[in-house]
Amino acid sequence: MRSRFTALVLGAALLAGCTADPAVTPAAPGPDAPATGAARQEALDAPADEGGTTDNVEVAVTSSALVQNQVATMAHTRLENPSKQGVTVALTLTVRDAAGATVTVQHDRAVLRPAGTTGVVTLLSVAEKARVSSVEAQVNVEHVQPTTGPAPTVNAWDVGAQDIAVTYQATRRYVTGFDNHVSGTLVATVPARFAYVRVDAICTDDAGAVVAAGSGVAPQPVTDEAPAPFEVTLIGGPSTGCEITATARV
């Protein structure tokens, strides 16, 4: 099961072309600022009734599908959180073949920003000769960000992506015969230093159909002081636009 993340989805229309402890370093907290590092993680892991209740929060799966090539299979899922609170969810992915038989069941986790849609890309472990045709996603809310008490030092939407570009060209570097990736820069939108940032990309063609997806990790910490580069290898075909989800561990 993945570690807790904070997340931001940034949809961008495009034209074709680690470790530190704690993972988040806020800028000069005052005497009344909430704890960071291990103490903050304990607070985030507290039962929902100590900070927020999951009873009235319903997250919807708006889409879930597969992209694949000879090397890998990815599931791309969009989750809508209509509430005014950030939530942590557990995602269950049931992958089936053309006859509807279950091939594998796998899991992921995500933190969803308030009142918005978050894209989650999951690399699936599928047997080499297995033929997969579809994926069904189910979501369960695990934790709701408290609405009372001290405000968190950082929120679930405090990383943004910019300067995004898509590259798709013939190459001999990959088994697929193509160099297919999306790149850009990341920046913290609050005074903070994020030591670990996961980047998910869901990419579409001119008609808006999802044709590629990928997931990776920023090669260096992300701060509010200078943009940090990222590059994600994509599974699938050529695309003209990507929706980027930047997810920082706290």
CATH number at residue 198: 2.60.40
Supply the range of the domain harboring residue 26. 10-30+157-249
Cβ(93)–Cβ(126) under 8 Å?
Answer: no
How confident is the model over 23-45, as pLDDT tens digits? Answer: 555 444 333 333 333 333 343 34
* Whole-model pTM over 0.75: no
Report the pLDDT value the prediction gives residue 52, as an integer from 0 to 100: 57
Distances (CA, A) of 164 to 39, 90, 182: 35, 29, 7
Q: How far apart are the first and last CA of the chain?
A: 16
Percentage, residues of the chain above pLDDT 70: 69
Are the C-beta atoms of 188 and 170 separated by less than 8 Å? no
Of 247 and 80, the structure prediction assigns the larger pLDDT to 80
- Does residue 172 fall inside a structural domain? yes
Domains in the chain, number: 1
In a domain, 142, yes or no: no
19 in any annotated domain: yes
Q: Could you tell me if residue 162 is inside a domain?
A: yes
53 within a domain of the structure (yes/no): no
Q: How far apart are CA 111 and CA 88, in angstroms?
A: 4
Model confidence over 168-205: pLDDT tens digits? 765 554 445 567 889 999 998 888 888 888 899 999 99
Over the Cα atoms of the chain, what is R_g?
18
Q: Is residue 44 part of a domain?
A: no
> Is position 140 within any domain?
no
How many Å apart are CA 80 and CA 89, to the nearest integer? 11
88 in any annotated domain: no
